[in-house]
Amino acid sequence: MQIRQATQDDFEQIWPIFQEIVQAGETYSYDRDITKEQAAARWLDKPRRTYVVLENDTILGSYYIKPNHDGPGSHVCNCGYMVSADARGRGLATAMCEHSQKMAVELAYKAMQFNFVASSNEGAVKLWSKLGFDVVGRLPKAFEHPTLGYVDALVMYKWLQLEQ
Amino acid sequence: MQIRQATQDDFEQIWPIFQEIVQAGETYSYDRDITKEQAAARWLDKPRRTYVVLENDTILGSYYIKPNHDGPGSHVCNCGYMVSADARGRGLATAMCEHSQKMAVELAYKAMQFNFVASSNEGAVKLWSKLGFDVVGRLPKAFEHPTLGYVDALVMYKWLQLEQ
C-alpha cells in the first residue's frame, strides 16, 4: 500500500468511492445529488492537498487537508477521509489519519479539527479518540441521519505540536 | 432604522465596515489582506441571503445567513454580523440577530450555529448567550488573537423551533 498526492486523473477512481459514501448520507455533509464536477472541486481542487491510498494501481481511499478557517484560524487544519467499501476493516482510515497528522505538522498546522462527526458513526468516534482527538463540542440534532433522524454531531480536535 | 436585503451596490458601503473589522483581526476568521472582490463573494454572493441595516441611506451594519453544512447538516444555518464602528452600542447586533432568527425560521432552518466565536470577544459571547445561544463547544487555542495570542474559540448553538 502506498500513499501519494492525488492527480486530477485520480478522480475517476475517487468518484465512485465518494458517491457511494455521500449517497448513503450517514457520515458526510455533502448534498446527496452532488455532481462529479462539484465533488472534484470540493475534494481535489479547493483543499490545500489531497492524497490517495493505492494498492497496485487501485485507489482504495483518499483524504484532503485544508485550513479549517482563514486568518486568525488558519493554524488549525481540517481533514476528510474516505475508504472504498471493499477496503474497509483493513486499517486504511488509521493509516490516512496518521499520515495526515504528519503532513499537517510539515505544513505548519498546529491543530486538526473535525467539524461534523455524526454521533451515530460510533466507529469513527472511537477511532479518532484512539488517535488522540478529543470531543470538544456536541451539536444537538445537527446531523439528519437517513434512518435515525436528527442525531447530535460532534466536534473533535487534536493539538498536534508536542511543544506548546 | 430599516433592515432590508442587500443589493450588489450596497457592498460599496459594506466594504469599509468589513475591512475595518477584518483588519483588526480580533473577531472574524477572514484573511486580513482579503480583497474587496473576495469579500463581496464571501459576504454577498455565497450566502443564501444578505441583509443591511440602514439609517436614512447609510448602511450601519450587515449580516448573512447560509446553511452551515450541506446535505445532512443543511437544516442548521450560520450567520455573521458586522456593525460599523460608528454605530456600536446602539443595539444593532441584537436587532440583526433577532431578525436573522426570524428569517431562519421562515427559510425553514431548525437551528443556528456560530462556528468560531473568539472567547476573548466577551461582548459577543454575552450577547449571544442572552439571545438564547448555548456554548456547545470550546476549541482550544483555535483563534490567534493579534495581542492575546492563541485563545480558545467557542461554538454557539440555538435550536430555533418551539416544537421539536
Report pLDDT digits (tens) over B71-99. 999 999 999 999 999 999 999 999 999 99
Please say whether the dihedral angle defined by the alpha carbons of residues A36, A41, A43 and A44, taken in this order, is positive or negative: positive
Q: Which residues contact B115 (CB under 8 A, 6 or more apart)?
A: A69, A115, B68, B78, B155
The reported pLDDT for the residue numbered A164 is 43
Contact assignment for A116 to B69 by CB distance below 8 Å:
yes
Find out whether B59 and B52 touch, Cβ atoms under 8 Å: yes
The answer to whether A114 faces chain B, any CB pair under 8 Å, is: no
CB nearest B157 (choices: A30, A32, A139): A139
Residue B162, pLDDT above cutoff 90: no
Which residue in chain B is spatially nearest to A152 when comparing CA positions?
B73
The answer to whether B137 faces chain A, any CB pair under 8 Å, is: yes
Give dist(CA A17, CA A41) in Å, integer: 16
Report pLDDT digits (tens) over B8-64. 999 999 999 999 999 999 999 999 999 999 999 999 999 999 999 999 999 999 999
Q: Where are the extended beta strands (E) located within chain B?
A: 2-5, 49-55, 58-67, 76-83, 111-118, 134-145, 149-159
Contact assignment for B73 to A110 by CB distance below 8 Å:
no
Give dist(CA B53, CA A44) in Å, integer: 38
Give dist(CA B129, CA B158) in Å, integer: 9
Helices (H) then strands (E): counts for chain A: 4, 7
Find out whether A47 and A6 touch, Cβ atoms under 8 Å: no
The reported pLDDT for the residue numbered A161 is 73
Contact assignment for B143 to A72 by CB distance below 8 Å:
yes
Q: What percentage of chain B has pLDDT greater than the value 90?
A: 97
Minimum distance, in Å, between the CA of residue B1 and any CA atom of chain A = 32
- In chain A the domains, ranked by start, together with CATH numbers, are 2-159 (3.40.630.30)
Contact assignment for B144 to A72 by CB distance below 8 Å:
yes
Which residue in chain B is spatially nearest to A33 when comparing CA positions?
B71
Contact assignment for B116 to A140 by CB distance below 8 Å:
no
What does the CA dihedral A94, A97, A102, A104 come to, rounded to 10 degrees? -170
The answer to whether A66 faces chain B, any CB pair under 8 Å, is: no
Minimum distance, in Å, between the CA of residue A29 and any CA atom of chain B = 5
Report pLDDT digits (tens) over A75-107. 999 999 999 999 999 999 999 999 999 999 999
CB nearest A144 (choices: B75, B116, B137): B75
CA atoms within 13 A on the CB side of A157: 22
**C-alpha cell read off for A143:** 446531523
Which residue in chain B is spatially nearest to A26 when comparing CA positions?
B72
Contact assignment for A69 to B116 by CB distance below 8 Å:
yes
The answer to whether A157 faces chain B, any CB pair under 8 Å, is: yes
Minimum distance, in Å, between the CA of residue B86 and any CA atom of chain A = 24
Q: Which of B101, B106, B107 is nearest to B157 (CA)?
A: B101
Give dist(CA B8, CA B14) in Å, integer: 10
The reported pLDDT for the residue numbered B37 is 98
The answer to whether A77 faces chain B, any CB pair under 8 Å, is: no
SS3 for B127?
helix
Q: Which one of B27, B115, B135 would you mutate to disrupt binding with A, by most A Cβ within 10 Å of its Cβ?
A: B115
**C-alpha cell read off for A7:** 492527480
Contact assignment for B69 to A145 by CB distance below 8 Å:
no
Helix (H) or strand (E) holding A59: strand A58-67
Residue B134, pLDDT above cutoff 60: yes
Low-confidence ranges of chain A (pLDDT < 50): 163-164
Contact assignment for B138 to A137 by CB distance below 8 Å:
yes
* Distance, C-alpha B16 to centroid of its chain: 16
The reported pLDDT for the residue numbered B161 is 73
The reported pLDDT for the residue numbered A162 is 62
Minimum distance, in Å, between the CA of residue B116 and any CA atom of chain A = 9
Q: What is the pTM of this model?
A: 0.95
